[in-house]
Structure 1
Amino acid sequence: MMILFENLYTKRLLNCLFKLRNITIGILSGTYLLYPITLFAGELHQHIEVTIVDQRVHASFCRPEKGCSLVKPETLGLPAAQMPVDQLTGTPIYVSEFIIFPDRTAIDSPGFEGLEGDMTPGDKIRYLASGHLSYWNTEKRQWSLAPEGVQIRLAGGLDLQPNQDCGQVFCIPKTVEGFTLFNRHGIDGTPSLIVGEIRSDGSLHTHLDWIIETSQGAPDASIGAYMVELQLFTETYPEPSDTLWIMFNNGLALEDFQHAVAGRVMQSSTDTALADKLFSWAESSYPSLFPHATTSFIAFGFYARCYQNGVCVAVKDNHIFAVGGEFGADIVMLGEFDVLTAQAGL
């Protein structure tokens, strides 16, 4: 696995000291006498607990009494007993925060933790990336798609594939590039790589490296909250887990990041009543594309309807998507939800 943080805890300490130094200098120089000190979310470090339930990988919020890290709901502006779970879909949301380094903006949190005896020794945990890179628009106070030209790069474990083309009795396996790229258009790079290998005692403790950057690799992506989508599986248990979301704070003040969390947890990120009106309007306006009224449902984070001709239309992150029938086998983006509802006169 590519290691970007040889001594992350030392760097975290230095980063905190650097922030404290800047604040102290600002106070002494009078800078903060004119402007209030901005509170940042701090280190949102936590672990995702991984185990096997009913022959399938199961991910959940870790239990601190078992020795792992958990971000308290109060830190996220939530009631003490309310974990960050998406209100519309029931998807758990794990949080983290990028750190600015001299050459990159990155973090190796959340970690993945499994207790002794929970899994098969030697088995490999893998991730499967899906969806689009989501973004909290602080001006509109709503979740949308990430700005054009921004991506999150995930450095998974290098994978090996058999190679029978070398003409020798034994061929060196081919190495698969160890990066997955999340952007507003979907997933680029390698969508599935290794998270870690189960230890001999059946436990797991590992971290992946996440980098936020422009599409050219520059470390100056837009400030905001970002969210990616993953599933987990192992070689022994290949059926993917339920979807999990990881939300990253990239430079937002604590209060603004709490608004981003609340935009998923305390309210639905999609106005389902308005979405149903738009679907019904499309059915009456374009009956060849959307024939016959049908029931809406939730799947993979989308609020959707599907039709007898194979077409499905859905809302997610303030955008309309379609797939099937005349739209083809790949998901296509039709436009922004609020713009299309306004054009429809809704």
Structure 2
Amino acid sequence: MPNLFRNVIKNSLPALGSNSRRVISSILLGAYLSHPLILSAGELHQHIEVKVLEGRVQASFCNPEKGCSLVKPETLGLPAGQMPIDQLTGTPIYVSEFSIFPDRTAIDSPGFESIAGDMTAGDRVRYRASGHLSYWSTDKRQWTLAPEGIQIRLAGGLDIQPNQDCGQVFCIPKTVEGFTVFNRHGVSSATSLIVGEVRANGSLHTHLDWIIESDRGASNAPAGAYMVELQLVTESHPVPSDSLWIMFNNGLPLADFQQAVAGRVLQPNTDTALADKLFNWAESNYPALFPHTTASFVALGYYARCYRNNACVGIKDNHIFATGGEFGPNIVTLGEFSVFAAQAGL
């Protein structure tokens, strides 16, 4: 079994450098020998299927009949056949579960997989990270922004950088490992890295490492469900895929994690009727910021409205965000949706 386990690790971490693979393999193997069931439960292990259709990258739930891993809806507390798709936005949600290791809390799922013939040989698949780190806890039982000091690090992605150190007229570019950090304020470090390179037969199978971290210590992030946002592109097909969300269970009993899933899939995360009342109230009371009445719409995970002065305001994870107009070019957080609604007397 240890030799088989080493082979599984070797095949599941192809995007990492050899030194990184050796270190992580030693950690995972030690965890397996001490707790042989820690990685074999695996009910929340799955792959994201990646393919190119009509000149654009598409990410979707994979087909287990083709040999990939897919979490059953019943495991998530959903009716049979109902995939985890956000009810308000239609965004697909891929689930995973952190495992505790001696020096970190991490997982290499979900992986990215393409079936032979689905992609162009040699093309490089990249992710684009966006949004904010979302959080669900058993005390509030509501999706909101992650606590301060908590982040998820996506490690093992690659980038190509110029190389001027070879002493020749033309130097082969360097391949370097990078990482992306998600927290309540957004995304930092590298916002786009290479997931992997398509094989000669047009297939892809690669895993990156998701690590949850706290400023109080590597493994001290609060128990709860966490969620991040990605899009996928390739170098040959730069138009990004639709957004996808990846939800992680960090220490919740399965019944509680199922409630976190239900808070997105079986009911809308935002009270749209209350949101419309708040938007109407803001238009009446702050015409300089919101100069006319307009209709609400759903975009990029937000329930939002936009105005002729280029300002847009949106609600997501019980927080209000704004951009454009007097808010400036970046997305800024204005505060909690429920607090604003209460202050408006709604």
Tell whether the 8 Å contact from 2:158 to 2:175 is kept in structure 1 after alignment: yes
Partner of 1:199: 199
Structure 2 CA distance for aligned equivalents of residues 54 and 19 of structure 1: 41
The CA deviation string for residues 115-147 of structure 1, in whole angstroms up to 9 with x for no partner, is 011111111110000000000132121100000
Identity %: 73
Partner of 2:317: 317
The answer to whether residue 201 in structure 2 is matched with residue 182 in structure 1 is no
TM-score normalised according to structure 2 size: 0.89
Structure 2 CA distance for aligned equivalents of residues 10 and 165 of structure 1: 37
Displacement of 1:157: 2.5
Structure 2 CA distance for aligned equivalents of residues 219 and 66 of structure 1: 36
1:264-279 correspondence to structure 2 within 5 Å: 264-279=264-279
* One-letter amino acid matched to 1:118: D
Displacement of 1:156: 3.4
SS at match of 1:227: strand
Partner of 1:119: 119
Q: Work out the number of aligned pairs and report it.
A: 326
SS at match of 1:6: helix
- Label 1:56 to 1:11 Cα distance change in 2 as closer, same or farther (>3 A): farther
Displacement of 1:163: 4.5
* One-letter amino acid matched to 1:243: S
Displacement of 1:17: 3.5
Partner of 2:300: 300
Displacement of 1:60: 0.6
Partner of 1:6: 25
The CA deviation string for residues 170-228 of structure 1, in whole angstroms up to 9 with x for no partner, is 34646655010000000011000011111111111110111001147622111110000
* One-letter amino acid matched to 1:17: P
Displacement of 1:169: 1.5
Structure 2 CA distance for aligned equivalents of residues 331 and 191 of structure 1: 15
Partner of 2:5: none
Structure 2 CA distance for aligned equivalents of residues 186 and 121 of structure 1: 33
Partner of 1:107: 107
The answer to whether residue 235 in structure 2 is matched with residue 235 in structure 1 is yes
| Structure 1 residue runs without a partner (length 5+) | 21-40
Tell whether the 8 Å contact from 2:137 to 2:223 is kept in structure 1 after alignment: no
Tell whether the 8 Å contact from 1:177 to 1:190 is kept in structure 2 after alignment: no
SS at match of 2:55: coil
SS at match of 1:158: strand
Partner of 2:8: none
Partner of 1:260: 260
* One-letter amino acid matched to 2:192: S
| Structure 2 residue runs without a partner (length 5+) | 1-14
- Label 1:245 to 1:102 Cα distance change in 2 as closer, same or farther (>3 A): same
* One-letter amino acid matched to 1:233: V
* One-letter amino acid matched to 1:284: S
Structure 2 CA distance for aligned equivalents of residues 337 and 165 of structure 1: 52
